[in-house]
Structure 1
């Protein structure tokens, strides 16, 4: 089984932090929630924040536009996939301005790949006139429908995000082994949904052919957002990984 997770957005899990000013020019880069799925510039991430409430600070929780995780969440991720994902240290202070004990980080899952079986899941293709096609994957968790993942495609992976097919919001897909470790460590306030594995290879021509056809016939500026972002990072850094 595979799971989709992200931090819980609720009053009990929002300790209410305000980010200290930081340089984010030329345009904001800090609104990716639980993860972006692609490399982000460490120099443009916030370095500190102060709490505006006296609520408990949990293991995984929201910051304005971002997330924060404790050291033990980072250690768990590094145990499964060392050196793969980004963790940006951030100093957190309580409402009185005193440092909060423990190390905290902004987490960014760095792996984006397609593994959702669109046909088997029955995802609906949306293609507004003049816009790139995309698969409707917004409220499917709430409807209780089954989502199928290609087992051969995810072999050896423990944390990843979708590329062309991803649910609305910053959901991170995780292996059953990683999810079991989260439960064992009692890391709380993560929303989760079970997904179903199938012994079906993920073949782009079978799963996202309308997207491939669109991008083959359109200029780069009209490609899907994920494809444009991926190419921009490759052009900028020459690689996608750390």
Structure 2
């Protein structure tokens, strides 16, 4: 990872408003982690339904069908629905190319409001859990649990991140990150719905 940035991720409602969408089955609040060994940081006991703790989850209760209520605008390549990040096959292929077999992609059929299948997306579960902030190089302050990202400069550790391309930082609120290599491929492919925010890595 030679580039000076890694990227935190957010969401862009491309339509300019939130398109109505819902799951047709499953129960996100009951999704369980495979490994619930305690670990200090976000969701330290890995309680069901608390997503993005950086560990694999069991397939039980994961939705398999959803409805997208807009006939003119297809599902984006990257969007969120009820705590789950949903991605297109194009996004899945990029992540798998850089970090094969690490993260989970659960297929979800996308239906129109009239019951017709209009596509497929994947629940993207990030399965790397890191403490990736470098406390020696950062000037931001850390609270009882999370870093206060507005209190100073945040610098992420190249040595801790290593060759990982997607990860959750257990001490950063909403701390889902992608490598520069993944970001460049997503931008080159013109994928929709994702927002990137540069973060310094040394």
Q: TM class by shorter-chain length? A: 0.7 to 0.9
Q: 2:37 corresponds to which residue?
A: none
2:180 aligned to 176, 180, 197, which one? 176
Q: For the Cα contact (< 8 Å) 1:123–1:135, is it kept in 2?
A: no
User: Could you say what the CA RMSD is over the residues aligned between the two structures, in angstroms?
Assistant: 2.5
CA positional deviation for 1:27: 7.6
CA positional deviation for 1:15: 3.0
Q: 1:205 corresponds to which residue?
A: none
**CA 1:186 to 1:82, structure 2 compared with 1: closer, same or farther past 3 Å?**
same
1:197 aligned to 179, 195, 201, which one? 201
Q: 1:160 corresponds to which residue?
A: 167
Q: For the Cα contact (< 8 Å) 2:165–2:179, is it kept in 1?
A: yes
2:110 and 2:126 map into 1 onto residues whose CA distance is 21
Q: Secondary structure of the equivalent of 1:72?
A: helix
**CA 1:121 to 1:25, structure 2 compared with 1: closer, same or farther past 3 Å?**
closer
Q: For the Cα contact (< 8 Å) 1:146–1:195, is it kept in 2?
A: no
Q: TM-score, normalised by structure 1?
A: 0.66
The reply on whether 1:40 has 2:57 as its aligned counterpart is: yes
1:181 and 1:44 map into 2 onto residues whose CA distance is 32
Runs of at least 5 residues in structure 2 that lack an aligned partner in the other structure: 33-47
Count of equivalent residues:
182
Q: Secondary structure of the equivalent of 1:78?
A: helix
Q: 1:86 corresponds to which residue?
A: 104
Higher relative contact order (CA 8 A, sep 6+): 2
2:191 aligned to 187, 191, 199, which one? 187
Q: TM-score, normalised by structure 2?
A: 0.78
Task: Give the structure with the larger helix fraction.
Answer: 1
Task: Give the structure with the larger strand fraction.
Answer: 2
Q: 1:240 corresponds to which residue?
A: none
Once the two structures are overlaid, the 10-residue window that deviates more, 22-31 or 176-185, is 22-31
Q: Secondary structure of the equivalent of 1:83?
A: coil
Runs of at least 5 residues in structure 1 that lack an aligned partner in the other structure: 127-132, 199-242
Q: 2:16 corresponds to which residue?
A: 12
